[in-house]
């Protein structure tokens, strides 16, 4: 099975994808993804960069190489823009702040950790499993995120909370112990919906797009008709929508955000955080929303077949193939069940152990 765009390994060459906007692909090693797009928006004072990859020396070396190709140095970066609170988007921000004095721009609700969002979940559980091929037989060698990414913390529905693998957590702790500071940046310039950033001598409008995370935002430049989409709208996969969120109904927030960006007319090029630039923001937004509505219909059909209140885990095992089972799939299932409940299309009760049971 051919790789999805978002799973392709990072290329070393730098390309200009819009006037004064450079695409720099950075290598990442995360389930379901092979690169993250870091964009450099160049002006007479240097550059602002968007989403500077994972924390660590490997990413930093790659960033330095890409900047040199563009005739820049890390010291030329005066601004770092973080579209949302996932490590592959904010990892290099703290180091830029220390070494070049860059200001750090993120949404005013930026927060990394258990109360913010699933701290490692980027792509949907279906897309995560797709990297091993839809037609392969399930075996003991089939990768499942549930085998290494469970934490000890319990979720509202009684399952286990996703978090980064142990090796990753230990690496981040080591970086802090070596005096490199926290991987989580201090936000010096918080923004919110409707704010305007002057980048490359043009006005870029902040579009708050909660869903994938509560603090996610995009940037729209109506003059050059470009849209920096972060993880909100990706070309061939769907972003993970977590049930663990500051929003009581993260799926409803995501639907609202998709509708919001689909209504923007002055867009010719969408610049996503993973995958290649594409040109039809409205169609892609509608396709992602349609996927989730189909999933909601599937959840209702599962409930009818079961014929009694059932746990999130039970729904998850009917909704996803075995290779997708795990904490992320449970989190997505919970988000869909809660959306139905809040809309009046499902009922929630608890068993003797306090585990949530749903009848949709």
Here the CATH number for the domain that contains residue 185 is 3.60.15.10
Instruction: Name residue, tokens 């909100």.
Output: 232
At 153, the pLDDT band (50, 70, 90 cuts) reads low
In sequence order, the 6+-apart residues with CB closer than 8 A to the CB of 346 are 300, 303, 337, 340, 358, 359, 360
Instruction: Tell me how many domains the chain contains.
Output: 1
pLDDT in tens, 93-142: 999 999 999 999 999 999 986 544 445 689 999 888 765 444 333 333 33
Using a pLDDT cut of 90, give the percent of the chain over it.
77
Query: Which of 5, 4, 65 is CA-nearest to residue 40?
Result: 65
> What average pLDDT does the structure give for the chain?
88
By residue range, what is the domain housing residue 164?
5-112+121-131+151-291
The angle that helices 312-319 and 281-306 make with each other, rounded to 10 degrees, is: 120
Does residue 299 form part of some domain?
Answer: no
What is d(CA 287, CA 258) in angstroms, rounded to the nearest whole number? Answer: 10
Does residue 321 form part of some domain?
Answer: no
pLDDT above 90: residue 189: yes
Does residue 354 form part of some domain?
Answer: no
Q: Where are the alpha helices (DSSP H) in the chain?
A: 57-69, 87-90, 93-100, 125-130, 166-175, 250-262, 281-306, 312-319, 327-342
Angle at the Cα of 276 from the Cα atoms of 169 and 201, rounded to 5 degrees: 95
Identify the DSSP state of 13.
Answer: -
Q: Whole-structure pTM over 0.85, yes or no?
A: yes
Does residue 329 form part of some domain?
Answer: no
Does residue 336 form part of some domain?
Answer: no
Phi and psi at 299, nearest 5°, equal -60, -45
Does residue 52 form part of some domain?
Answer: yes
pLDDT above 80: residue 356: yes
């Amino acid at each position: 099975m051919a790789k999805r765009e978002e799973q392709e390994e990072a290329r070393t060459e730098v390309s200009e994808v819009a006037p004064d906007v450079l695409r720099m692909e950075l290598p990442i090693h995360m389930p379901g993804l092979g690169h993250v797009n870091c964009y450099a928006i160049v002006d007479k004072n240097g550059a602002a960069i968007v989403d500077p990859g994972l924390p660590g020396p490997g990413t930093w070396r790659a960033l330095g190489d890409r900047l040199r190709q563009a005739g820049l140095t890390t010291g030329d970066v005066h601004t770092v823009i973080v579209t949302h609170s996932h490590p592959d988007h904010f990892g290099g921000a703290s180091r830029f702040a220390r070494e070049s004095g860059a200001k750090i721009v993120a949404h005013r609700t930026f927060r990394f950790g258990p109360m913010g969002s699933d701290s490692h979940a980027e792509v949907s559980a279906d897309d995560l499993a797709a990297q091993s091929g839809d037609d392969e037989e399930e075996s003991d060698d089939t990768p499942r995120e549930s085998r290494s990414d469970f934490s000890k913390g319990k979720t509202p529905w009684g399952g286990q909370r996703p978090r980064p693998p142990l090796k990753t957590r230990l690496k981040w702790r080591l970086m802090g112990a070596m005096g490199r500071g926290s991987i989580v940046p201090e936000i010096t310039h918080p923004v919110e919906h409707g704010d305007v950033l002057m980048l490359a001598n043009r006005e870029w409008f902040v579009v708050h797009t909660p869903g994938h995370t509560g603090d996610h935002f995009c940037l729209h430049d109506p003059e050059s008709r470009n849209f920096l989409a972060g993880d909100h709208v990706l070309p061939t996969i769907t972003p993970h929508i977590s049930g663990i969120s500051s929003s009581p109904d993260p799926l409803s927030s995501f639907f609202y955000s998709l509708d919001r960006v689909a209504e923007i007319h002055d867009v010719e090029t969408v610049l996503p955080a993973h995958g290649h630039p594409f040109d039809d923001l409205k169609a892609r937004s509608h396709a992602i929303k349609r996927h989730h509505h189909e999933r909601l219909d599937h959840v209702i059909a599962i409930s009818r077949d079961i014929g009694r209140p059932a746990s999130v885990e039970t729904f998850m095992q009917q909704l996803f193939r075995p290779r997708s089972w795990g904490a992320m799939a449970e989190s997505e299932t919970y988000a869909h069940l809660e959306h139905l409940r809040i809309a009046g299309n499902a009922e929630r009760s608890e068993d003797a152990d306090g585990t949530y049971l749903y009848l949709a």
